[in-house]
Structure formats: C-alpha cells, structure tokens
C-alpha cells in the first residue's frame, strides 16, 4: 500500500512502514503529484482542508486522527475547547468526509484529566500519546478494510418515536431497563 501521511508528527511514519508499505509524509497543501499513486490518506494534525474531489477519489480510504471525543470539539484546538466548554475529553479516529470532523467513527477513547496538575500542554501530550496508541491498535484493521464504523450521534424528529411508542408502557415513567437497546438499528 502507498500511504500519504498528512502530519507534522514524524514518529508514526516508521510504524506505517513496518507493514511493508510506502509512506510519504507532508504538511504542505495537496497537489496532484503528492496524490499520485497513493492508496490511502491518513490525516493527523494537518492544517489544510481536503477537497471533495480528493475525498471522492479516496472514498473509505481516508482517515483522521483527532484529539477530541467526537462529536464534541470538531475543528481546531479541541483540547482548549474541551476545557472552556466543559465537554468530554478524549480521542477519535474517524473516516474523513466533506464535513469537518463529521465522518463515521472507527475508534474512540475517553480520557480523564487531573484538575490539580494538568495544564493544556500536559493534557495535549496525554491526548497525543492516547491517539497514537489507539492508532497502532486499530490500523491493522483499517489497513485490511475490516474497521468497524459508527455514525456520529443521531438526530430524531418528533415523529420518529411513533415506531417505539409501544415500548413506553408507562409513558415517561417507563423503566429505562425495559427499553435499553430496543431502538438500535441492526
């Protein structure tokens, strides 16, 4: 496989090559030369938007390593925003689509911080270590096309509940143990 690694982080390049694959690393804007003969794109801290034509060419073959617990804190500086907004902290590996950090999730880890000792820098370092560890565990599955994928969150309109109304035997007083997992799509 010929991988384009879009990242300022240099130490994962050798891990990618350990599979016998070619891996080219850059932080420069994409060009047709950089994309030539590539089979897969990995984005990790790359500061440029990947265009729709490129994403169309690499459908299901482009992933992002993001240091937030998506769907919270999409975009830039997720570590900072997770503290400013009091949202969950963690890391996510996901497929890249047209939206910013909105693609299907492959893997996630929640991370706790220490109120007394963590700084933005120390917690960023923990997030970086965590995402890289998670990546080394899931990359073999991604590489082989066997990665699971999960939609990011759900949206429901008022009428969506009708299909499940029969489960609400006591209305809003229905015990949650009676409905857990009953709405999951197979």
- Is 151 part of any domain? no
**Residue 62 is part of which domain span?**
2-143
**Has residue 120 been placed in a domain?**
yes
Decide if 182 is inside a domain: no
Beta-sheet pairing, 90-95 with 62-66: antiparallel
Q: What is the CATH number for 112?
A: 3.40.50.170
Give the residue ranges of the chain where pLDDT is below 50.
185-186
Q: Determine, yes or no, domain membership for 87.
A: yes
pTM: predicted TM-score of the whole model, two decimal places: 0.82
Spatial distance between the Cα atoms of 96 and 109, rounded to a whole number of angstroms? 18
Number of domains in the chain: 1
In a domain, 175, yes or no: no
Residue 25 forms part of a structural domain? yes
> Does residue 55 sit within a domain?
yes
Residue 186: its pLDDT value, please?
A: 40
The pLDDT value recorded for residue 153 is: 75
> Is residue 154 situated within a structural domain?
no
């Amino acid at each position: 496989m010929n991988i384009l690694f879009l990242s300022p982080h240099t130490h994962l390049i050798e891990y990618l090559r350990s599979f016998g694959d070619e891996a080219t690393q850059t932080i420069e804007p994409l060009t047709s030369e950089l994309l030539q003969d590539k089979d897969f794109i990995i984005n990790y801290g790359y500061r440029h938007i990947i265009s729709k034509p490129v994403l169309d060419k690499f459908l299901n073959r482009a992933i992002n390593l993001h240091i937030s617990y998506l769907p919270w804190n999409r975009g830039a500086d997720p570590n900072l925003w997770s503290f400013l907004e009091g949202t969950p902290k963690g890391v996510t590996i996901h497929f890249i689509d047209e939206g910013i950090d909105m693609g299907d999730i492959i893997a996630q880890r929640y991370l706790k911080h220490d109120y007394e000792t963590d700084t933005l820098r120390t917690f960023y370092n923990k997030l970086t270590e965590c995402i890289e560890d998670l990546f080394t565990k899931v990359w073999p599955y991604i590489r082989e096309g066997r990665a699971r994928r999960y939609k990011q969150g759900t949206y429901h309109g008022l009428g969506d509940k009708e299909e499940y109304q029969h489960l609400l035997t006591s209305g809003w007083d229905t015990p949650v143990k009676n409905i857990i997992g009953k709405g999951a799509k197979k």
